[in-house]
Amino acid sequence: MRVLVCDDDRACRRALVEVLIGHGFEICEARGGYEAIEVVRRRPIDLGFFDYRLPDLDGLSTVRRLQEESFVFPFVLMSGEKQPFAETKTLPSGMVGFLAKPLGLAEVRRIIREVFGRSLPER
């Protein structure tokens, strides 16, 4: 299973990547929305984690652009903000979760279980 982690915060991105790699997922990384779009154009993705606030194109806009190009996969939005969706009336289909930063491993496990039907073992 291939997972995309898109976050401009290197420490947050690396922490999530390390957890997922340690549990057998193939990982693609992107630091921004446009880079994520290029990654998805080259390789099929089974799940995406997108930071809500990115320096070039926010996570929601990135997902919408991918869906316009017929790239549809479950995704998670992540944010350190309390109410990041205040200005958003409708969310794109396929959103399977929202993770508040700092990320909690229990929530990552829950999302993996929902999407892939398997759990990450406790470590």
List CB contacts of 70: < 8 A, sequence separation 6 or more: none
- Nearest-angstrom CA–CA distance, 56 and 47: 21
Amino acid, single-letter form, for residue 122: E
pLDDT at 115 over 70: yes
Q: Are 75 and 52 in contact (CB under 8 A)?
A: no
Residue-wise pLDDT for 24-69, tens only, equals: 999 999 999 999 999 999 999 999 999 999 999 999 999 999 999 9
**Is the domain defined by 2-116 classed in CATH 3.30.870.10?**
no
Report the alpha-carbon angle 33-35-41, nearest 5: 105
Residue 113: is its pLDDT beyond 70? yes
pLDDT of residue 22: 86
pLDDT of res. 102: 87
**Angular region, 70: left φ>0, alpha ψ -120 to 50, beta rest:** left
Domain ranges of the chain: 2-116
pTM: 0.89
- Express each pLDDT in 59-101 by its tens digit: 999 999 999 999 999 999 998 876 555 445 566 788 888 888 8
pLDDT of residue 104: 85
